[in-house]
Structure 1
């Protein structure tokens, strides 16, 4: 069986459960479109106050209670992070199996870079305490043409043509990202959300936009928006890889719309953000701290 391209597979998936009025597919790469909102929970220089975090706390035979922002779905689950001092399981609702105890909580305390110290009893998180997810923005940066977005050649506005365009652009060294912008009338059940005629293909390149547009038009006749980027996707991926050894890293991701890299850490400091700005350029790498300073 021929393997479906990531763009087409995710485009079909988006059509199965998107918001009324707009559906969109994630890009073909591991990059995440339009979520980059700059640094988050950055701790000011000299901060000595408390932090708040919604996280899993887990203890097993290898370590005591630790704060985890991600959990391996095994039984029992596994995770790791900073040690938590002052934690007592007695009287705290939790699960247990095979000498492992864990649960999801809202916890408040201080952090010295190594150990989180509780300053008040934890609150069990039933899901209602989870932070609001950041909503990706799939809006095309190009101004809509006269008459609105529509195909220029219906014969090459097909799923196969979309896949051909994807294969063409992702192999280009100037390629900086690809995503789908698709807006549907509310409650339009008659039009499949995966209809290539109802979407705008967005592609970013670091240079020669006119040349790349002409090349794409040899295979794709649907709506098309090309935009410029300072760094290629390969360059952003290289930065992302360089951040893999960042202390207390929780995740990394690339935002192809903003051309930035997000580095999730347990505690994001202003000093480290300045270092990253000096190393890669202001705003290229954004720290996102799991711990929220509250004082």
Structure 2
């Protein structure tokens, strides 16, 4: 693979996950795919009710508490993760566990129903039903949202561009210029290699002219009233210090929003998230999801 193709391949891999193509300034937060099946999107959860969640089950040693992992999992062997402590009897055998170096865990996700209590690092969940490999009756497992990276214009080679053009040096330069655009929202490639699509809040024509001066390949620029990448990043950094029960957050370059995933999205947590991001984002710029969802009645 030539240097130019290698650079493009790396770029395509990054942007295929929804990240910004302007990686020269640190890259964008990774794209968040569809929320977990037991989560709610934006709906407030009553923390006092019977709740359902699913994730990896983990016990670090026979003497350690069993935990439901709802955040990231380190891909070591055995894996490493953490989450709410399970209160109640855990029958491991129906869950087909794996065991190594004193650690017991489930290879796939399990479904937990119970009552969540905050406290400590991740809180606890007191079981009201046995842990199972299948969702409870009434819980719908949605299909993941397809990731779409559309071409934003009819003629991406207008203004002197040509198909397949662009050197590694030009690739680096256009990435740098994108990140520095006034009102830069995000960007992606729609042909898997070199057709850049760029969203800005300001003058799209001026932005296209600036990028065209350094990039001879495919290029589409569109103006939209969305949150800028800089504002999404600032809000994301503020959340990490201010919101308890935060499981993760990520900027979505295509939608121009911040996705926020928390343990339990109760009314207080929802308001705290919105208060924290208000200096940078509007309510419509934030999608909130909850790992624990109400158990269907």
TM-score normalised to the size of structure 2?
0.74
Partner residue of 1:189? Answer: none
By how many angstroms is 1:47 displaced? Answer: 5.3
Contact 2:46 2:266 in 1 (8 A): no
Counterparts in 2 of 1:244 and 1:4: CA distance versus 1, 3 Å: farther
Aligned equivalents of 2:6 and 2:175: distance in 1?
8
Partner residue of 2:262? Answer: 265
1:76 maps to which of 71, 75, 78: 78
Matched, 1:149 2:155: yes
2:117 maps to which of 112, 116, 119: 112
Aligned equivalents of 2:245 and 2:18: distance in 1?
31
TM-score normalised to the size of structure 1?
0.74
By how many angstroms is 1:67 displaced? Answer: 1.0
Matched, 1:139 2:138: no
Contact 1:76 1:100 in 2 (8 A): yes
Contact 2:74 2:81 in 1 (8 A): yes
Matched, 1:57 2:57: yes
By how many angstroms is 1:244 displaced? Answer: 1.4
By how many angstroms is 1:26 displaced? Answer: 4.5
Aligned equivalents of 2:53 and 2:239: distance in 1?
23
Counterparts in 2 of 1:110 and 1:253: CA distance versus 1, 3 Å: same
CA shift digits 1:111-166 (9 cap, x unpaired): 133221212122236xxx975322223224x5x4xxx4342234585132554322
Which shows bigger deviation, 244-253 or 202-211?
A: 202-211
Partner residue of 2:176? Answer: 167
Aligned equivalents of 2:8 and 2:225: distance in 1?
20
Indicate the structure with greater strand content.
1
SS in 1 for 2:65: strand
Contact 2:183 2:202 in 1 (8 A): yes
**RMSD of Structure 2 on Structure 1 (CA):** 3.5
Counterparts in 2 of 1:261 and 1:25: CA distance versus 1, 3 Å: closer
Counterparts in 2 of 1:276 and 1:266: CA distance versus 1, 3 Å: closer
Aligned pair count reads: 265
SS in 2 for 1:242: helix
Partner residue of 1:211? Answer: 206
Aligned equivalents of 1:131 and 1:55: distance in 2?
15
Partner residue of 1:226? Answer: 222
Partner residue of 1:27? Answer: 20
Aligned equivalents of 1:173 and 1:261: distance in 2?
19
Counterparts in 2 of 1:71 and 1:149: CA distance versus 1, 3 Å: same
Q: What residue ranges of structure 1 are gaps of 5+ in the alignment?
A: 15-22, 183-192
Partner residue of 2:165? Answer: 158
Partner residue of 2:231? Answer: 235
Contact 1:5 1:163 in 2 (8 A): no
